[in-house]
């Protein structure tokens, strides 16, 4: 797949200027999984741990994107596609700016995720599949969405009345119902150290 961002104008900066400034490589961690699987919670925990380690990490999720940039989009199949497309493009801008960006979106369609992956250099895109079983997600149901979906009040609810196409070979797979949140976060961080995205702790 072609990484189209290599043709971008990088202004007057040396290619490694940002990496030297920030002390780590940029990357996009794309967290995909069912509603209630723990995407945003895990992303926020990883973000805190990374910022504490002086890594410039930042979470994009429904909270800061759905109400702003994508406030004009609903939940139809076409709007879900556009939602994921825009988030992918914004994540690419953050990576261009040197950030370790964590994008936490259901992103149920494999084709949409593949299009996002194609925006990045191979070693800057990390797909994290939240494989928490639907039974666990539904038992949590923090926003009462599964209950409403079962009652037929939410059309096209992922996992109930709309498909979730699980990633076949994500870089990382995490089940937040099988391990504590901190353990899950440390697992992802260990992967980033192992793959030399961020430095090992001093």
Q: What size, in residues, is the chain? A: 202
Is the Cβ of residue 42 or residue 174 nearer to a copy of itself in the bound state?
42
In whole angstroms, give the CA distance from residue 176 to residue 192. 19
C-beta of 28: minimal distance to a copy of itself in Å? Answer: 13
Residue 131 near residue 31, CB atoms below 8 Å: no
Binding site residues, a copy of itself, CB under 8 A: 5, 8-9, 11-13, 17-18, 21-22, 43-45, 47-48, 51-52, 54, 56, 58-60, 63-65, 68-69, 86, 89-90, 92-94, 96-99, 119
Q: Can you read off the two tokens belonging to residue 125?
A: 């895109």
Q: What is the sign, positive or negative, of the torsion defined by CA atoms of 159, 163, 30, 8?
A: negative
Is the Cβ of residue 96 or residue 165 nearer to a copy of itself in the bound state?
96
Q: Can you read off the two tokens belonging to residue 90?
A: 């914004």
C-beta of 155: minimal distance to a copy of itself in Å? Answer: 26
C-beta of 44: minimal distance to a copy of itself in Å? Answer: 4
Write the DSSP symbol of residue 45: H
Active-site option among 35, 37, 107, 131:
107
Radius of gyration of the chain (CA): 17
C-beta of 51: minimal distance to a copy of itself in Å? Answer: 5
In whole angstroms, give the CA distance from residue 105 to residue 42. 12
Is the Cβ of residue 13 or residue 139 nearer to a copy of itself in the bound state?
13
Neighbours of 79 (CB within 10 A): 13
The yes-or-no answer on residue 107 being catalytic is: yes
Is the Cβ of residue 56 or residue 159 nearer to a copy of itself in the bound state?
56
User: Catalytic residues, which ones?
Assistant: 107
């Amino acid at each position: 797949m072609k990484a189209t961002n290599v043709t971008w104008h990088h202004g007057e900066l040396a290619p490694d200027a940002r990496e030297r400034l920030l002390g780590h490589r940029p990357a996009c961690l794309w967290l995909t999984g069912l509603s209630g699987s723990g995407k945003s919670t895990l992303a926020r925990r990883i973000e805190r741990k990374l910022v504490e380690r002086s890594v410039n990490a930042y979470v994009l999720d429904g909270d800061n994107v759905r109400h702003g940039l994508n406030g004009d989009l609903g939940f139809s199949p076409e709007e879900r596609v556009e939602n994921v497309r825009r988030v992918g493009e914004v994540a690419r801008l953050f990576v261009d700016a040197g950030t370790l960006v964590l994008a936490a979106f259901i992103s149920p369609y494999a084709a949409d995720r593949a299009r996002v992956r194609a925006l990045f250099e191979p070693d800057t895109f990390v797909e994290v599949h939240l494989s928490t079983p639907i039974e666990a997600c539904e038992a949590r149901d923090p926003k009462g969405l599964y209950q409403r979906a079962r009652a037929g009040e939410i059309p096209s609810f992922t996992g109930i009345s709309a498909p979730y196409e699980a990633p076949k070979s994500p870089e990382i797979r995490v089940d937040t119902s099988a391990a504590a949140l901190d353990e899950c976060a440390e697992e992802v961080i260990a992967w980033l150290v192992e793959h030399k995205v961020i430095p090992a702790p001093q």
